[in-house]
Amino acid sequence: MKIRRLGGLLAGLTLGVCGLVLNPVKSEATEGLSTSYADISEETSIQQSTDITSSTGDMEEEEKVVIPQNNVINSNGKQVKSTVAGNYYAWSVPGFAVITPEYELQKQANFMVLEYFFVTTWDIDARTAPAAIDTMSIVAQSEEATLGASFQMTVSRLFSTKVYPMVNEEMKVETMIEIPADFKEEGASYAVICVRSGGVYEILPDLDEDPATITFTAHAGTGAYGILRYRD
What are the pLDDT digits (tens) for 35-50? Answer: 332 333 333 333 333 3
Q: Looking at the domain assignment, is residue 59 inside a domain?
A: no
pLDDT in tens, 159-191: 988 999 998 888 999 999 999 999 999 999 999
Burial of 210 (0-12, 13-18, 19+ CB in 10 A): middle
Q: Looking at the domain assignment, is residue 61 inside a domain?
A: no
- Could you give the CA distance from residue 226 to residue 153 in angstroms, rounded to a whole number? 11
Q: Looking at the domain assignment, is residue 95 inside a domain?
A: yes
**pLDDT recorded at residue 66:** 82
Q: Looking at the domain assignment, is residue 141 inside a domain?
A: yes
Q: Looking at the domain assignment, is residue 119 inside a domain?
A: yes
Residue 76 pLDDT > 80, yes or no? yes
Report the domain count for the chain: 1
Q: Looking at the domain assignment, is residue 145 inside a domain?
A: yes
Q: Looking at the domain assignment, is residue 102 inside a domain?
A: yes
- End-to-end alpha-carbon separation of the chain, Å? 19
**pLDDT recorded at residue 124:** 98
Q: Looking at the domain assignment, is residue 115 inside a domain?
A: yes
Q: Which domain holds residue 14?
A: 2-38+68-231
Residue 86 pLDDT > 60, yes or no? yes
Mean pLDDT, residues 54-83: 78
Residue 84 pLDDT > 60, yes or no? yes
